[in-house]
Structure formats: C-alpha cells, structure tokens
Structure 1
Amino acid sequence: MKKRWIYAFVTAVLSVVLLAGCGSSNVVKIGHQPTTEQTIMAQMLKQVIEGNSDIKVDLVGGLGATPVVLKAMENNDIQISAIRYVGTDLTSSLGLKEFSKDPQEAFDLVKKGVAEKFDQEWFPSYGFDNTYVFTVRKEIADKYQLKKISDLAKVAGELHLGTDASWLERPNDGYEAFKQEYGFDFGKKTPMDIGLVYKAVANGEVDIVLAYSTDSRLKEFNLVTLEDDKHFFPPYGASAVVRNDTLKQYPQLTELINKLSNQIDTPTMTALNYQADIEKRDPEEIARTFLQEQGLLQK
C-alpha cells in the first residue's frame, strides 16, 4: 500500500513537471536595448502577441550595444529583436562600407543579407526612422526660411553648429563627406556630447545641431528638423527581426508582428518617446493606450 502511494505521488509530481515544461516551451523572448523607443516597441510587440494568441512573451531588456543583441539572437537567448535599424545592421552586422541610401533599396539589402547570414527575418518597417537630422530653433527656421538642408547653403557661414564629436571625424557619413555632398561649410563648429545638443540649441548657445529624429527633446524644446533632401544620411528605418526557426515554430507570429507595420511614423514615435521621457508615463501603459487607439488591442 505504501509503495503504491509513493508511486502515485511520484507519477503526479512528474506529470506536473512535464506539464510545466510544455507550458514554458510556449514562450518567446523579445530583446531590446535600454532606450525609450526600444522599450516602448518591445511592450507593443508583447501586448500584440499575447493579446491575439496563446503565446507568452518574456522581455529581456538592458541589452547594450548592437553586437550584444546580435549575439543574443545568435545564441537563441532571445528570439525577437524589438527594433533593429537598417543603417546600423548594414554597417555593423553585415559589415558593408558602401550601400545605396535609397530607403527601399537599403531595406531590401538588409533583409536579404540578414536572412542569408543569420537565418533571421527582417520585418517591414514600423514606419519611423531614427536617423540623423539637422535641427534649429523655430525662430531661426522662420528667419532664414529653412525647410530642407539645401536651404542652409545661403546662410551656413553665419551659423554656429553643435554636433557629436565623432561625426566631425567619421569618413563615410561624417562632416567632410557632408560638405562635399551639400557644398557648404558652417561658420563655426563646436563638438559636444550628443545628449547636450538639444538644450544647447534651445538656449541659443549654438544655432543648429545634428540630432536624432525621434528624440523626445525635439518636441520638448519645439525644435524644427530639416529635410535631408539629398539623402546624405543612411536610412535608419526601424523593424522587428525574428529568428526563422521561431517563425516556423509559431507561424502566427508573422501576421501578429505585421500588425505593427507602417503604424508609427517618425512624429508619432517622437510623441510616444515624449510621453515616457518628459511626462514620465509608464512605457507599458503608453504601448497599451496606443494599440487600443489603433484598434490593435481590445480595451
């Protein structure tokens, strides 16, 4: 009798363990870097997937530089990258020094390259680019009628530029290459930390800065961005990237992730970042509200 009880107990325990194991296999891990927009987009992916399927999602945050994300994907520590940027992967993971700056051609190139080299699927863009943009105060834009970078040619000699120090030295898309492409030089240049450029231009310490197109401080300080009309800067369209073996295991992921394709343009992403950075709202709440407003998640 005692042996029979022990056998039944062990069988029950093993059943629980096996069931738990089966449940844990239905989990995918989404990795993201410690930036505001990566955190928000990771939350959007998680909520869209969990809200429309029985797949469970674990978020793996705090992944540092791009090589860390790539290694985590390669090792299957994560199965989905919340955001990868076209220009970054072309130069880093694929190691290209020259490529087309046409957004569609660059997208096709990175999609093909990542599939062939890493067996990963590069999804359609979310709709926004986090690229470099020249930015001025509204009074400067109005005074000189500035809408695109080419408009600077007639006044650049009078303007004081603030920019990340590394950009002044970079060979392919740095300052020297920029001067050759656009044909003008700024009157004065001050290298500074990228995090300081927004307040510097807002306070009038400089006239124009090189910034990031989705940074919340553009909205905070009511700054005006200028169109890169000669497409000098590489495209940095943002997409999710997924291991192909994960897509085979969970084929419904393709449709679910594609729900976010072309849903978020650059001004919208900037506004979402603003809600987190400046208004101090929780990224999980920001993601949920946006998805509900777009009809991608039930209220």
Structure 2
Amino acid sequence: MKKTMGLLLALTLTAGLFAGCSSKETIKIGSQSTSEQMIIANMIKLMMEDRKLQAEIVTGLGSTPVIVNAMKSNEIQISAVRYVGTDLTGTLGLKELPADSAAALAMVQKGIQEKFDQTWFPSYGFENTYVFTVRQDLADQWKLNKVSDVASHAKEMRLGTDNAWLERTLDGYPAFKKAYGLEFGKTSPMEIGLVYKAVSNKDVDIVLAYSTDARLKEYNLKTLEDDKKFFPPYQASPVVRNDTLKKHPEIKEIMDKLAGQIETKTMTELNYQADVKKAEPEQIAKDFLKQKGLLKS
C-alpha cells in the first residue's frame, strides 16, 4: 500500500512538473518575410531564449497593416521591425510628417502608445528609406555625394524608379522636383527590384532604391545624401504590447540593448549575407550577437 501511494505521489508530481513546463507562455515575434526582418526577429528570439524566455517567430506577415492587426488581436506580442514613416502615414494616418528624425520618432511613439497601448522602442540604429543611387564610377567622375550635387547634370541623366513614386504627391516626384529644384532628362518606370541591375548595366544613370538593400553592395552602388531631408524618417524599431512588457520586463532590457547597435551600413551587410551569400538568418543573427557580446551564454 505504501509503495502504491508512493508511486501515485511520484506520478502526480511528475504530471504537475510536465504541466508546468507545457503551460510556459510562448511569446510570438511577428516578422515580414524580408531578410532584414527575419534576421532581426532571430536576434530578438535568441536573446529571449538566452534569458530563459520561450519565443517563436511568426513569419510571412505580408505588410505593416497585417502586423498591426496581429498585434491588436494578440496573435503576436512583438513586431520585430517597424518603420517610423510607414506607421506615421499608414497606421496613424498623418498627412504631414516632420523632417527631423527625433521629432518623427517621438510622434510615432506617442501615437502607438495612445492608440494601441504598445511601446515603440528606440531605433536599432538604421533606417530603411528611399535613397538616390548611382554607379560608383559616375559618382567619382561628377563628384556626386549628395542629391543637390546632381543639379548641374540632371537634364542629361536617366532616372529609374517604381511607377508609384512618380505619381505620389506627398513624397513623390512632383514634390521632389519642387524641393530640389531639378528635373531629370528622362524617367524610366520599372519594378523596384529591377533598378539595381538597370543602373549597374548603364540602362539608366540614377535610381531610387532602398537604403539597406543588399544589391547596393552587390553592384557597388553609391547612395547620395538626402541633404534637403525630402524623404520622411524611416528609422527601424521593435514594437511590443504593454501587457507583455509588464509580464516580462526582460524584454525591455533586450530591446534597450539592441538600440543603436545596427547602423545602416551594417544592416546592408547583414542583408547581403542573407540575400547574396545565402546564409541563414538565424546564423547571421547569432554571429552578430556574439560579436557584439549580447548573448549571455
């Protein structure tokens, strides 16, 4: 009888132990399917697991509105990467944006906090925005370092860009011509993914690209400084539900440690490892965190 009771007690304790393990909350990190987002989502996951938190990446979320809705419904608790300009115009519906990056960040932080009860953290240190880009040899020949430098050559230059930008009013070509007082000799609408090869092959002379795209490095292209601050700030940051932060204050520590750690040049290099060298985002993330000393174990 004693043996039977002892066995039952042991089984009960074991069952309770397993029940406790299985009930441990899994925190879900939402990510779009770009290499940039997947790499950073893996950084967050690895740092959470390093602190004994259980985490899972939910990928393939197609757009910012999809991620916003998933956060609202608690299907995910963390957005791995959100961009200031995108959320100011899309999620918060603002029509006029500050050119100053600090003011734009403060505005989106306030808006997301008040409207969604979520915390928008400081930037990782990079922004993924539109950039005008030329071949390095042309930049050297004409001494092109900023967009204003293009003015004296614009009439003889062919611009490659996506068609939507040519027609947008707030931050598109019509407003750009007024801001910089220049107009290109010819515009060639094309899909954004084709502009890099087009400028490399000299089919066009200057293109509108994305500032952290791996193909900037692959094709040895030079980005020009937006010296008139025409494009709105697009700093990249994580966003976390406040109820999740209350339960797991370690997450704030993780986000604070990642803040300012990834410059635009660094993010481009990390994207290059994934998109061109075909390295796995998890391994890229792990190597970066170890290099920065951000993993405890």
- Counting matched residue pairs gives 293
Aligned to 2:39: 40
For 1:191 and 1:298, how far apart are their aligned partners in 2? 49
Aligned to 2:20: 19
Instruction: Tell me the secondary structure at the aligned position of residue 171 of structure 1.
Output: coil
Aligned to 1:50: 49
Query: Quick one: which of 237, 255, 262 aligns to 1:257?
Result: 255
Per-residue CA deviation, residues 40-63 of structure 1 (Å, 9 max, x unaligned), is 000111111211x12111110110
**TM (normalized to structure 1)?**
0.94
For 1:86 and 1:207, how far apart are their aligned partners in 2? 30
For 2:66 and 2:15, how far apart are their aligned partners in 1? 37
Per-residue CA deviation, residues 13-46 of structure 1 (Å, 9 max, x unaligned), is 86356324432x2x21101001010000001111
5+ residue gaps, structure 1, are: none
**AA matched with 1:280:** K
For 1:218 and 1:103, how far apart are their aligned partners in 2? 23
Aligned-residue sequence identity (percent) comes to 58
For 2:23 and 2:137, how far apart are their aligned partners in 1? 61
Instruction: Tell me the secondary structure at the aligned position of residue 49 of structure 1.
Output: helix
**AA matched with 2:134:** V
Aligned to 1:116: 114
For 1:243 and 1:18, how far apart are their aligned partners in 2? 26
For 1:42 and 1:126, how far apart are their aligned partners in 2? 12
**TM (normalized to structure 2)?**
0.95
Aligned to 2:172: 174
The alpha carbon displacement at 1:101 in A equals: 1.6
Aligned to 2:245: 247
Instruction: Tell me the secondary structure at the aligned position of residue 61 of structure 2.
Output: coil
The alpha carbon displacement at 1:235 in A equals: 0.6
Query: Quick one: which of 86, 89, 97 aligns to 2:87?
Result: 89
User: Matches of residues 14-163 of structure 1 in structure 2 within 5 Å?
Assistant: 15=16, 18-23=19-24, 25=25, 27-51=26-50, 53-163=51-161
User: Matches of residues 268-287 of structure 1 in structure 2 within 5 Å?
Assistant: 268-287=266-285
Per-residue CA deviation, residues 201-255 of structure 1 (Å, 9 max, x unaligned), is 0000000000000000000000000000000001100000000000000012111
**AA matched with 1:22:** S
5+ residue gaps, structure 2, are: none
Aligned to 2:185: 187
Question: Larger deviation: 182-191 or 249-258?
Answer: 249-258
**AA matched with 1:252:** E
Aligned to 2:162: 164
Root-mean-square deviation (CA), in Å?
1.7
The alpha carbon displacement at 1:258 in A equals: 1.0
Aligned to 1:197: 195
Instruction: Tell me the secondary structure at the aligned position of residue 259 of structure 1.
Output: helix
The alpha carbon displacement at 1:146 in A equals: 0.4
For 1:133 and 1:275, how far apart are their aligned partners in 2? 21
